[in-house]
Amino acid sequence: MTNNKNNTENLGEKIVTELKSIFDPEIPVDIYELGLIYDVFVNEDNEVKIMMTLTSPNCPVAESLPQEVEEKIKSIDEVKTAEVEITFDPPWTKDLMSEEAKLELGFL
C-alpha cells in the first residue's frame, strides 16, 4: 500500500511539473502559479482529473487551454487517462496567484 501511495505522490509531482510548463497566453506566468488549477485528483489506477478555472469565462483560450492541459497530462507515461473540468466556482481572482506570480507581475 505504501508503495502505491508513493507512486501517486510521484505522479502528482510530475503532473505539477507539466502544469508549470503551460502558460496563460495573456499573462506571462504558468497556469499553476496563476492559481488556475484548483485540484488534481489521481486514483490508484493513475486516472487523473484536474479541476481548473480560467481567468474569465470569456478567456480567448477557453477552448484550447483545457485541451492543452489534458494533452500534456496524458503525455506522462504513467497516466492512464486525464480529464479536465472547468469551473467558475469560485471565480478566479488575483488572490489565487502564488507569491512568485504576484512578484513577477508586479503585484507585490
Residue 104 grid cell: 513577477
* DSSP result, 8-30: HHHHHHHHHHHHTT-B-SSSSSB
User: What is the extent of the structural domain holding 25?
Assistant: 2-104
Beta bridge partner(s), residue 84: 50
Q: In terms of Cα–Cα distance, which of 97, 103, 108 is closest to 30?
A: 97
Tens place of pLDDT per residue across the chain (108 aa): 446 777 888 899 999 999 999 998 888 899 999 999 999 999 999 999 999 999 888 888 888 999 999 999 999 999 999 999 999 999 999 999 999 999 999 988
Number of domains in the chain: 1
